[in-house]
Chains A and B, each alone.
Chain A
C-alpha cells in the first residue's frame, strides 16, 4: 500500500521495541466478540489507474447543464490562479492554525479574508467563515437569541431561500427557538407583518434576504431602526457578490450580515463546499460563533496573526460556547481572498454589471416570447428574476425538455409551481441566450 510505508522488517523491529510478538497483540484488550471475523465487505484495493477509471466513469454519468439558475449557487467565473494557489499543499494539508508560529500563512490569509468581507458587508468584524450560507443564517438566529438573553422568538422572512429557511427551522426546532415566518407582498417581505410581530416585545431578532429568493432587491429603509426600537437585532442574508453594487447590510443598519460567499468565484460543486460568512457589529463580537484571527506582535516586535477570542469557542467553553462549530471552510477563505484580490473593486463591479446585463437581456427576451410574464412586475433585480410560465406544457415538462437540450432552466419557485426563478452571470453569452430562447419556443 503506497500510503503506508511499513516494511516487514520495520514491523518486526517496532514490535520488538514494544515487547509484543505480533500486531494483533496490540489489540489484546479488545473483547474478542467485538473483533471482525472476516474482511470488510468493501471492494479490494484498486490501483491509481483503476481509481481514476471508476471515479472518472461516475463523473461521465453526470450531464453538466448550462445554468440559467442561481438559488444560492451562482456560476461566476473562477480565475485560473485560484485553484493553482489553493492546491499548494503548504496551505491545503495544514491543520487549524493553533500553532501560530508555523501557521502565519493560514492566519494571514484569514485576516485578509476577514478584512475584505467586513468591507464588503459594511460591518466591523468578520469571522473566519461558517460552513455555508444556510448554517451561517441558523447560527445568526442562535446568536440573536443568546444576545437577547430572555427572548426566544425570531422573525424570518419568507423571501429567504427555502433551503436556508429549512436549515434555520431545523436548528430552531431542536434549540427551542420559535420561528415566525413573515409573509411577502408582491415578492417583498411584508413590513406590516414585521411591525405587528415586533409589537409583542418578545422578538430577539429579524432575518431578511438581499437580494431575496425571487431575485428582488428589497428596500430595507427604516427596518433597522424599527427592529432596534423593539429591542431586537437585525440580520441580513446577502448574496456576497452583489454587495459590490448593492447597499450593504452595514449601510442598512444591520447588526449581523450572514450568507454565502460562493458567488465570489467558488465552483458550483453540486452544492459544496461553499463558504458561509458572518460579519457583525463590534458590540456582538463575543457572541459570535466560529474562529477569529487577530493581529498582534511577536517577541521581536513583528506584526503577526493569531487565533483570538478563543474563550467563546467549544474547545474552551464546552457547553457554554457560542456554537459547536470548529472546522469550518478554511481554505475557502483563501479562495475568496484571492478572488477579491484579482477582481478588485473594478472587476467586481464589472462582474455585476455584466451579470446584470445578461440577466436583464434574458428577462426581456423571455417576456417577449409571450410564453412568460413577470411574476412581480417592475421589481428591481441584479442577476436573478422570477417569471410565470404561460406555456401549456407546464414548468416541469419545460425544465425537462431544456435539460435534455443541455440547459438548466432556472429553479421552480417555491410556493409558485408555475413560476421559475432564472439567473445569469458574466459567463453566459448572447449565443447561449439565443439557443435557449429558440428551444423554449419549439
Chain B
C-alpha cells in the first residue's frame, strides 16, 4: 500500500471522444437499429456522465487505485469474527475456467453435469465437516444463509401445523446479523443474557423457553472466542420445548476437524465460505452462505436442490414441494463454490484439523503475550480462534472511568500506521472498549511476533505520548475522514464541478 493517496475519479479522467472498447463492425446490416424503438420507450436522459476513456487510462486508474487498498496479500488482518485467512490462488484459476464461467444457468442438467457434480461433492464435504445430513449451497452470503436457515425453521414448524412459534432466542453476544435476519424472517427476537464468564446463562434461558419458541441461534465458540461447554444441555433444553437449534457458522474455523455443530445438537447451520473456506472477501463480497440441516429436515431446504439420480447416473436439479421456497433463482454464487471446493481438496481431512487447531494456537499465543498490556476480562479458559480485550490496561492509559482515557478506536487507528489492519472494535457489545482479535492459522509466528511488538509499543505510546494516538493514523493515504460531514452533506454520487 502506498502512503501517498491516488485521488482522481474516473469521471475526472474522461475526455469526449475517447473509447476503451472495440466491437466488430455490425455484421447485421442496416435493417435493424435500436433507434427503431417507439419514441415513448426510448431514453431521453443523457448518459453523459459515463466516462469516455482509453484502455490504458482505465487500467492505470484502477491499478493506482488498488494501491490505496489493504488486503490479506498486503498485510495481517487480526479481524475478529471475520477469519481473514489467506486466499489460495489455485482456487481463483479454477473458478475462471471457461467451462465454468460460460455456463448458462438455463442449460439443461445433462449439459451441466460437471458443475452439478461439484455442487454435490462440496455439499457432501460440508455435511461431513458440519456433522449435518445435507447442505444447500444456494445462499449468497452468511446473512443470506441465516435468513434461509430461519425460514427453514419456520417452514418446519408450519409444516407440522405449529403456528404459534414466533420467537427466536439470541444471546446478547450474537453478531448483529442474527437479530436482523430474524426480523426479516418475521420472527420476534428475545435476547438471552450471558453469565459474567461470557457464556449463555442457563437460568435466564430456561425462563424464556416455551411453546412459542421457534428456536435458538448461537455461535460456538461464541463471539468472545469462548467455547460454550454447556452446549449439549442447551440443545437438550431447547429441543425439549420443541424448538430447533441454529448454528451461526461465523466462528466455525476452530472447530474444523475437532468437533462438529451437528454433534453439539444443532439442527440447522450456515457456513461463511468467505471465512472458513478461504474464498476472498472481495471488499464485501461476493460470498456464499451454505445452509446445512440434520437428518429429517432435508425436505425443507430451499429450491432448487441438486440430487444424484442413481438410476440414470446423472445429477439433476429438483424442486421439492415441501422446500421453504426459492431464495435464489439458480444455484447461488457458483464461482465461489468452486473456490471453496478446491480449498477443501487442498486441505483434506488432515489439513482441516490442522487449520482449526493452528488458528486456536495463534489466538492463544497473542492473547498470552499481550494480556499484561491490554485488559483481558476472561482469563480462566483458553480461547478458541479469537478473543476480546476490553481496551488498554489501566496502567497504559486505558482506565475507563477517566474521560480522557485512550480509546480502542485510537489503538486501532494507530495500528494502521504499522501496516496492520485494525481488529474488530466495539464488538461484542458486552465490553465498552471491546477489541476482538482473530489471527487465523495462515499467519506465521514471525508475523504474530511483529504484531505483538507493535501492540506493546502502542501501549507504551498510550502511556508516554498519548498525542500520537489521538491523531493517528499518520502514514495512511488519507487520515481521519470526517464521518459526520459524510452523513450531513450526503454525497453519494459524483457531481462535476460547475463551470465558472
Contact = CB atoms under 8 A, between A and B. Distances in A.
Interface stretch (A47-55, A198-206, A226-234, A387-395): A47-55
B141 A272 contact: no
Contacts of A346: 19, 52
A26 B357 contact: yes
Contacts of B70: 90, 94, 99, 102-103
Given A246-B42, A302-B478, A43 B21 contact: no
Identify which of A29, A97, A102 gathers the most chain B CB atoms within 10 Å of its CB. Answer: A102
Interface in B335-391: 335-336, 338, 341-342, 344-355, 357-358, 360-362, 364-365, 368-369, 381-382, 384
B318 interface: no
A42 B330 contact: no
Among A42, A134, A243, A250: residue with most chain B CB under 10 A: A42
8 contacts: A36-B258, A51-B345, A63-B111, A88-B63, A97-B284, A132-B329, A270-B334, A323-B180
Contacts of B93: 52
A29 B63 contact: no
B333 interface: yes
B263 interface: yes
Contact of A142 (B1, B184, B442): B184
A173 B325 CA distance: 9
Interface residues of B, number: 202
A91 B282 contact: yes
B28 A331 contact: no
Contacts of A73: 104-106
Given A63-B111, A64-B103, A251-B45, 6 more contacts: A41-B128, A88-B63, A95-B421, A299-B479, A340-B50, A341-B50
B327 interface: yes
Contact of B73 (A89, A291, A399): A89
Interface in B274-291: 274, 278, 280-287
A291 to B, nearest CB: 7
A357 B129 CA distance: 51
Given A41-B349, A270-B334, A295-B489, A306 B483 contact: yes
Nearest to A106: B283
A268 B67 CA distance: 30
Interface in A32-51: 33-36, 39-46, 48, 50-51
Contacts of B480: 101, 298-299
Interface in B1-30: 1, 5-7, 9-11, 14, 18-21, 23, 26-29
B156 to A, nearest CB: 12
Contacts of B310: none
How big is chain A's contact interface, by range?
Answer: 35 or more
B486 A308 contact: yes
B40 A126 contact: no
Contacts of B186: 174-176
A210 to B, nearest CB: 9
Interface string A1-43: 1011110001101110111100101111111011110011111
Nearest to A314: B180
Contacts of A131: 140-141, 144, 285-286, 328, 333
A92 B282 contact: yes
B350 A44 contact: yes
B45 A267 contact: no
A324 B140 CA distance: 13
A122 B482 contact: no
Given A55-B118, A59-B99, A326 B141 contact: yes
B59 to A, nearest CB: 6
A370 interface: no
B443 interface: yes
A239 B19 CA distance: 23
A300 B41 CA distance: 48
